[in-house]
Amino acid sequence: MTREIRFQCVTTCSSLCCGGATIINLKEINKLYKFFPITIGFRKVYPVDSLHSNYLQDITFKYKNFYIIGDFIAGNRFSKRCRLLKNSLCTIHGEQKPLQCMIIPFSITFPEEYQDKVIREKKKGAFKNCNGFVNNFPIVWDGKFMNIELKNNFYKLKEALNFQVDLMEKIFAQLRETLFFSKFIISKDGLFEVPLTENFIKEIFIRASIEDPAEFIRIQKAMFIKELTTENFKNSLFIEALSILDKLRI
């Protein structure tokens, strides 16, 4: 039975993978905060075996009997389309493009060897109607990544997640008294999303090499205001994020 995956991105179905939010990492904040409103998200990851468990130890932290991956969320996950799409085409390229977007349709939460499992699951859901999986398209994975650029971006993203995992664990520990923490812990899956707050934003500025925090705050406030005034659905988290940014004194 062949395991090979043939894939080539087809822009006509960009709405399937280019929703309102994407995942970015600490190293990408400095180059992307002018494009997206930024929050923090935590997701549970359950290892399928010991190999997967060993892999997760580099990019997640353990809480109780599961692993948690902490990310920075760029954009509004309740929107249907990424704010940087124009005529189904991405308008951000090269070094500016988030690594998460550059490894689509694969997943950083599984090791390279298990990406066929990722695709099988995605084809049952989000990628069910994706037009990028065609028999005469290039082979991008066959037990390992065959595309060098894809492989490099995958491991760059893994390295970036490893770089921030200690900070994400520290942030998570400070959230235990917040409203939705307990709900997230007892749920099987789900996303625990929180705004940047004063308790950890200064460390984020330092580690993300934000040279002008005042500009960051000004631009992020404008981003949240734009989302709250243009979207039909008012993201309550964005209201909270805007309130926090208004009170920050850096």
pLDDT tens string 174-205: 998 888 899 999 998 889 999 998 889 999 99
Mean pLDDT score of the chain, rounded to an integer? 92
**Who wins on pLDDT, 1 or 209?**
209
Domain boundaries along the sequence of the chain:
5-196
**Percentage of the chain with pLDDT > 90?**
71
**Who wins on pLDDT, 227 or 15?**
227
Q: In the predicted model, what is the mean pLDDT of residues 34-62?
A: 96
Would you say residue 17 has pLDDT above 90? no
**Who wins on pLDDT, 249 or 4?**
4
Q: In the predicted model, what is the mean pLDDT of residues 118-129?
A: 88
Nearest residue to 193 (alpha-carbon basis) of 46, 21, 34:
21
Q: In the predicted model, what is the mean pLDDT of residues 134-161?
A: 95
pLDDT for position 68: 97
Cis-peptide, bond into residue 105, ω within 30° of zero: yes
Confidence of residue 2 (pLDDT cuts 50, 70, 90): low
Could you report the per-residue pLDDT of 38-47, keeping only the tens digit for each? 999 999 999 9
Q: In the predicted model, what is the mean pLDDT of residues 30-58?
A: 96
Would you say residue 1 has pLDDT above 60? no
pLDDT for position 235: 87
pLDDT for position 222: 96
Q: For residue 17, give every residue at least 6 positions away whose Cβ sits within 8 Å of its Cβ, in sequence order, or none.
A: 104, 105, 126, 127, 130
Would you say residue 13 has pLDDT above 80? no
Could you report the per-residue pLDDT of 214-235, keeping only the tens digit for each? 999 999 999 999 999 987 778 8
Would you say residue 20 has pLDDT above 60? yes
Give the C-alpha distances (Å, rounded to integers) separating 233 from 50, 90, 238, 241.
42, 23, 11, 16
